[in-house]
Amino acid sequence: MKGFVPTPRATVDEMVELLFRGRQPGEDNALLDPGCGTGEFIDGVIRWCESRRVAVPRITGIEADPRHLPALRARFERQPGVRIKHADFLADDRTTYDYIIGNPPYVPITELSEAEKARYRARYTTARGRFDLYLLFFEEALRRLAPGGRLVFITPEKYLYVETAGPLRDLLARRQVEEIRLLREDTFGELVTYPTITVLCQQPPGATRIVRRDGTTATVKLPRGRHSWLPVVEGEASQRAAVTLGDLCLRLSCGVATGADGVFVRAAGDLDPALRPFAYPTIAGRELTPATTDLTPRCAMLIPYDADGRLLPLERLGGLRHYLLRDEVRHRLLSRTCVKRKPWYAFHETPLLRDILRPKILCKDIGETPRFWVDRRGEIVPRHSVYYIVPRDPTALDAIVGYLRSQAAHDWLTRNCQRASKGYLRLQSRVLQRLPVPLDVAHVAAAWQPVARADAAVLQAALPFEHRA
Ligand SMILES: C[S@@+](CC[C@H](N)C(=O)[O-])C[C@H]1O[C@@H](n2cnc3c(N)ncnc32)[C@H](O)[C@@H]1O
């Protein structure tokens, strides 16, 4: 079933309370539950009205999955004001409603067919990048909400800050977002990460009430446009740091994606001596565990590039050329889709060894909690599952990693990073760039000005295994 996650009764009741707060429904009002599943919200609305002896509004439930319909229709057959429509909510329909309440489906773009993606992209401004169906449900609901009408949705909190949801934030911020309520993570068991209730009124924007997970509340003004709402939701707008991690770093990026680690990453121990001139110590995210103190990579990455990211011609690759030309290796490399656009032995992404082979800080792209390791000698080439942070001033390495390991940095990252399943944090470079750095740390790293790219020390560092001291 596409995106079926039923809403627990206590959450349904909380949302219905918000829907009718200060504006009791009448029997002439129209109410919509798009993607009504088994009818939890319809039941909740009827329960609310009956317990207060208030007329039940005209309710429409729209559900696309035929498997829900028999039970759904049976559940409300004695309710004359309830109409169940077997339809696609994301299709053309101009009917408007005074109230819309629901839990839209969470369906990532990867689960949509090519035809669906094309249709949605043509119809919705929110269908941009790697969109999720719940963004489109928001947009469609805004089209169907009558002037002055109220909408209450429960969705993942991600729409508050992910780049993909920028167009949705732009649409929402043109209206009155009355309240954003961040719910406990276990609201849906393990099914939905960081659920959030959004209450919106179809009228010009004003102040927004925020209810945070720790119970604190605030009244804020949401930024117009596509900006992330996280700083205002988390209450950090007034304490924005003058200096961020991005200001102190020459590079803050995801490690090298070869596009064929099975070919380019080999055990360092029994490496053919003919390959050693092109072999660099490398580390993957899974090798970085809380117990890892000694960064001694067990593997080497064979890199057919020079320090500036130029792919070396085959005739300059010596023993690596023979290895790459072996039938099974060549065949494996040719089967990659990325080689339609580049030479057959190129990496998926160009490695810039001049920047990578510097003293740096490493962290995993995803983890239970943010942790940081130091490659003091600057000899490790991180793989795609590892982020690397290169201070502009190498002498500031310890001050920066000391701060990254502090409680203050940990708290900020926990609040600002995206969450993967099980509450794991995704440390994206975009977020790390924005990490505020206290001025004392920033002063230690005083040499923020861009370093000369061709300095001798760096060139020395950009040499493979066998040429190092
Ligand atoms: C997250 S579930 C919520 C179900 C129910 N509203 C609840 O909260 O218990 C989303 C529902 O949307 C339905 N759905 C998915 N795509 C739909 C579409 N394009 N039109 C209508 N319903 C859809 C799914 O079948 C699923 O029942």
Q: Are 343 and 218 found together in one domain?
A: no
User: Angle 397-404/407-416 helices, nearest 10 degrees?
Assistant: 60
Q: Are 342 and 399 found together in one domain?
A: yes
Q: Are 23 and 117 found together in one domain?
A: yes
Q: Are 214 and 266 found together in one domain?
A: no
User: Is the model's pLDDT at 467 over the cut of 50?
Assistant: no
* Cα 137 to averaged position of ligand 1 atoms, centre (Å): 10
What is the reported pLDDT for 457? 42
In angstroms, the CA 145 to CA 306 distance is: 58
**Cβ 89 under 6 angstroms from ligand 1:** yes
* Cα 2 to averaged position of ligand 1 atoms, centre (Å): 7
Q: What's the pLDDT tens digit per position in 57-73? A: 999 999 999 999 999 99
Bigger pLDDT: 197 vs 111: 197
Rounded mean pLDDT of 285-310?
A: 90
The H or E element containing residue 129 is none
Asked if residue 417 is part of any domain, the answer here is yes
Q: Mean pLDDT of all residues in the chain?
A: 88
Q: Are 194 and 342 found together in one domain?
A: no
Q: How many domains does the chain have?
A: 2
In angstroms, the CA 98 to CA 193 distance is: 29
Q: Are 371 and 342 found together in one domain?
A: yes
pLDDT band for position 423 (50/70/90)? confident
Asked if residue 1 is part of any domain, the answer here is no
pLDDT band for position 260 (50/70/90)? very high
The best mutation among 36, 38, 42 to test binding of ligand 1, ranked by most ligand atoms within 8 Å of the C-beta, falls on: 36
**Cβ 64 under 6 angstroms from ligand 1:** yes
What range does the domain containing 223 cover?
Answer: 9-239
What is the reported pLDDT for 401? 94
Q: What's the pLDDT tens digit per position in 41-53? A: 999 999 999 999 9
* Last-in-domain residue among 209, 239, 269: 239
What is the reported pLDDT for 22? 93
180-194, 224-238, 334-348, 384-398, range with greatest mean pLDDT: 384-398
Q: What's the pLDDT tens digit per position in 150-173? A: 999 999 888 998 888 999 999 999
What is the reported pLDDT for 62? 98
pLDDT band for position 297 (50/70/90)? confident
Q: Are 201 and 223 found together in one domain?
A: yes
Q: Do the Cβ atoms of 48 and 12 come closer than 8 Å? A: no
Asked if residue 3 is part of any domain, the answer here is no
What is the reported pLDDT for 438? 80
What pTM did the predictor assign? 0.60
Q: Do the Cβ atoms of 399 and 301 come closer than 8 Å? A: no
For residue 296, what are the CA distances in angstroms to 133, 291, 377, 380, 383? 44, 13, 11, 9, 14
The atom number, within ligand 1, closest to the CA of 40 reads 9
Residue 161: other Cβ atoms inside 10 A: 21
| Residue 33, beta-bridge partner list | 61
Q: Whose CA is nearest to atom 14 of ligand 1?
A: 35
The atom number, within ligand 1, closest to the CA of 37 reads 27
* Residue closest to 262 by CA, chosen among 289, 278, 284: 284
**Cβ 67 under 6 angstroms from ligand 1:** no
* Residue closest to 250 by CA, chosen among 396, 436, 383: 396
Q: What's the pLDDT tens digit per position in 346-356? A: 999 999 999 99
Q: Whose CA is nearest to atom 23 of ligand 1?
A: 35
User: Is the model's pLDDT at 451 over the cut of 60?
Assistant: no
User: Is the model's pLDDT at 449 over the cut of 60?
Assistant: no
Q: Are 264 and 402 found together in one domain?
A: yes
* Last-in-domain residue among 219, 239, 259: 239
Q: Are 364 and 438 found together in one domain?
A: yes
Question: For residue 166, what is the domain's CATH number?
Answer: 3.40.50.150
Residue type, 383: R
**Cβ 103 under 6 angstroms from ligand 1:** yes
Rounded mean pLDDT of 389-399?
A: 90
* Cα 35 to averaged position of ligand 1 atoms, centre (Å): 3
| Residue 82, beta-bridge partner list | 59
**Cβ 195 under 6 angstroms from ligand 1:** no
Asked if residue 227 is part of any domain, the answer here is yes
In angstroms, the CA 157 to CA 183 distance is: 9
The atom number, within ligand 1, closest to the CA of 89 reads 20
Q: Are 227 and 133 found together in one domain?
A: yes
**Cβ 35 under 6 angstroms from ligand 1:** yes
* Cα 59 to averaged position of ligand 1 atoms, centre (Å): 16
Q: Are 250 and 230 found together in one domain?
A: no
CA quadruple 182, 62, 31, 142: dihedral sign: positive
Q: Are 210 and 150 found together in one domain?
A: yes
Q: Whose CA is nearest to atom 13 of ligand 1?
A: 35
* Cα 51 to averaged position of ligand 1 atoms, centre (Å): 27
What is the reported pLDDT for 460? 40
* Last-in-domain residue among 239, 258, 284: 239
Asked if residue 387 is part of any domain, the answer here is yes
